[in-house]
């Protein structure tokens, strides 16, 4: 039998029909090839006519089954298909009830005069006036999601299991004290490079200062340090770590310390919401004659590793401002 260019389906069918009767050239590789001594094969008794439709379906480029035939077959095997009704109530994005702008129309966004040698450092109100107005930190802590609370509690239990109850309390107190010393050292570095630094502060903060040095090189026009801000319309207060220009952009800056690397913005958890809250409060506060649109989170490391600066442009600040309004709403509803 000579093989020529012809229809592939005819070829396969012919091979199956003549598999047991026609000799095959030794150079042609096929499962039906044999030597001079004929061997009995269990496949020799196959009724090729019976499976001709299967062969045609395999070699055909177009499937012999259609969606309707497949659906009928599935119905016989698994029962009729039960189609669920589409939900009439689609989950809408959660938006705050009280949508308040982050910018203050009564203020200018132009650069106002500032005292280079004496940045603003306003104090929070005291007494009954202070207790009646919640802080940004308190609001964020009391409106943490169940997932955030779960991971925070799990971390706390692990630390207690490793350090013990008293050891964990000492560890937490030490972290808080290091944070205070770091902020004090930053203030001296930002206000005056010739300021006296005592040995204790150098030892405790040297690594952190080395970590943020490349960021400090890009900081200029320091306008406020550890200064209170208050949003009179939304009734909350906070203390912004620093207001200065970072690479030319006026920002609310938040300095953070961490034992773990935080190279991405999402690693900072609620910090972007906190910065957005400070931006909105400063823009609302009449004690500041200017407005800001940007934020900066700087994560410093004790071992001196280069800090990770996370810059928030106005688009991102506005995004997190919406999340802040939601957290503020949840806090007020809980009260």
Q: What is the pLDDT of residue 2?
A: 45
Residue with structure tokens 């016989």? 76
Q: What is the pLDDT of residue 24?
A: 42
Residue with structure tokens 């106005």? 314
Burial of residue 272, with CB atoms counted within 10 A of its CB: 0-12 exposed, 13-18 middle, 19 or more buried: buried
Which is the catalytic residue, given 74, 241, 303, 335? 241
Domain boundaries, the chain: 8-78, 128-334
Cβ contact 307:211 at 8 Å: yes
The neighbour count for residue 100, using CB atoms within 10 Å, is 14
pLDDT in tens, the chain (335 residues): 444 455 555 555 555 555 444 444 444 444 444 444 555 555 455 555 554 554 454 444 445 566 666 667 666 655 666 554 444 444 455 777 878 999 998 887 655 566 666 899 999 987 666 678 999 999 999 999 999 999 999 999 999 999 999 999 999 999 999 999 999 999 999 987 544 444 345 777 999 999 999 999 999 999 999 999 999 999 999 999 999 999 999 999 999 999 999 999 999 999 999 999 999 999 999 999 999 999 999 999 999 999 999 999 999 999 999 999 999 999 999 87
Q: Is 303 a catalytic residue?
A: no
Question: From CA 278, how far away is CA 294, in angstroms rounded?
Answer: 11
Question: From CA 251, how far away is CA 235, in angstroms rounded?
Answer: 22
Q: Is 217 a catalytic residue?
A: no
Question: From CA 193, how far away is CA 168, in angstroms rounded?
Answer: 36
Q: What is the pLDDT of residue 57?
A: 47
Radius of gyration of the chain, Cα coordinates, nearest whole angstrom: 36
Which is the catalytic residue, given 37, 126, 256, 313? 256
Cβ contact 261:277 at 8 Å: no
Which CATH number describes the domain made up of 128-334? Answer: 3.90.320
Which is the catalytic residue, given 118, 254, 293, 303? 254
Burial of residue 30, with CB atoms counted within 10 A of its CB: 0-12 exposed, 13-18 middle, 19 or more buried: exposed
Cβ contact 64:57 at 8 Å: yes
């Amino acid at each position: 039998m000579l093989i020529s260019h012809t229809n592939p389906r005819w070829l396969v069918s012919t091979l199956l029909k003549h598999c047991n009767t026609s000799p095959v050239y030794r150079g042609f590789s096929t499962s039906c090839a044999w030597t001079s001594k004929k061997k009995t094969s269990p496949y020799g008794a196959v009724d090729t006519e019976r499976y001709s439709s299967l062969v045609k379906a395999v070699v055909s480029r177009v499937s012999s089954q259609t969606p309707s035939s497949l659906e009928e077959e599935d119905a016989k095997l698994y029962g009729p298909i039960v189609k669920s009704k589409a939900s009439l109530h689609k989950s809408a994005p959660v938006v705050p009830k009280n949508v308040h702008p982050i910018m203050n129309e009564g203020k200018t966004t132009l650069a106002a005069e500032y005292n280079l040698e004496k940045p603003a450092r306003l104090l929070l109100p005291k007494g009954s006036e202070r207790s009646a107005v919640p802080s940004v930190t308190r609001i964020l802590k009391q409106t943490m999601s169940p997932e955030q609370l779960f991971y925070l509690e799990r971390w706390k239990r692990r630390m207690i299991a490793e350090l013990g109850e008293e050891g964990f309390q000492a560890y937490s107190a030490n972290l808080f004290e290091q944070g205070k010393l770091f902020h004090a050292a930053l203030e001296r570095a930002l206000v005056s490079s010739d300021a006296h630094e005592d040995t204790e502060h150098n030892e405790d903060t040297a690594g952190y200062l080395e970590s943020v040095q490349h960021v400090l090189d890009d900081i200029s026009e320091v306008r406020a340090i550890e200064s209170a801000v208050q949003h009179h319309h939304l009734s909350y207060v906070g203390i912004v770590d620093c207001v200065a220009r970072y690479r030319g952009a006026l920002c609310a800056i938040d300095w953070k310390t961490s034992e773990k690397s935080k190279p991405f913005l999402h690693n900072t958890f609620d910090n972007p919401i906190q910065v957005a809250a400070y931006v909105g409060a400063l823009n609302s506060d009449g004690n500041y004659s200017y407005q800001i649109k940007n934020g900066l989170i700087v994560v410093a490391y004790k071992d001196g590793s280069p800090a990770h600066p996370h810059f928030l442009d106005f688009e991102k600040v506005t995004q997190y401002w919406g999340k802040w309004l939601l957290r503020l709403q949840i806090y007020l509803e809980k009260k």
